[in-house]
Amino acid sequence: MKRIAVLASGGGTNFQAVVDGCRSGYIDGEVSLLVYNRRDAYARERAGQAGVPAHYINRIAEGSVEAMQRKVHELLCSSGIDIIVLAGYLEKLGADTVAKWSGRIVNTHPSLIPKFCGQGYFGHHVHSAVLAAGEKESGCTIHLVDENYDTGPVVFRQKVPVLPDDTPETLAARILPVEHELLQKTVKLLCEDRIAVSDGKAVFLD
């Protein structure tokens, strides 16, 4: 059974989706650790309810981005983590972490990458940009993580229609359940060692 760490900055609905997937038996793994970087992140409350150890690691508290990244890396190593899930985590991982867990770090993004992604595009900022651009469809992308924002190999991408009267809130509410479903599916496959990277692309193994 694989040990999963979830890193989050906000409400933690994706954290909850992974926990629920594990506890239902759909995912052959266990969420062994939550790392959060905002004291008011509701993900911490979810971790407490689920009995998952939660650690607050913040760049200001640690003195620098580099110190924060080192502390996260050391915690992941000491916790024996196999798979890392970035669930609305608004920080970059350090290069050592990306290298050590290459192909085993997954991120969720609430748009159809390569549209509306990269630094600064997160949460309702993404949905506001989609609506401002007059897009007829949006969606979500699950991808593996490399050294840059939202540039790693795509695992799943699914479209969701944009309705004429949508607001950032209503669009987000329509996309989120799809995001949860695809994230669970991705983590399941990673726990079964059925995702690999070939020529810069994610491939599925039988």
Instruction: State the catalytic residues.
Output: 109
Query: Are 69 and 147 a contacting pair, CB within 8 Å?
Result: no
CB atoms within 10 A of CB 136: 10
- DSSP line for 160-184: EEPPTT--HHHHHHHHHHHHHHHHH
SS3 state of residue 172: helix
Q: Is residue 168 packed enough to be buried (19+ CB in 10 Å), middle (13-18) or exposed (0-12)?
A: middle
Alpha-carbon distance values, 53 to 106, 108, 148 (Å): 20, 22, 28
Report the first-to-last Cα separation within the chain, whole angstroms. Answer: 19
* Phi and psi at residue 156, to the nearest 5°: -135, 145
* Phi and psi at residue 131, to the nearest 5°: -70, -40
| Residue 156 DSSP class | E
- DSSP line for 23-57: HTTSSSEEEEEEEES-TT-THHHHHHHHT--EEE-
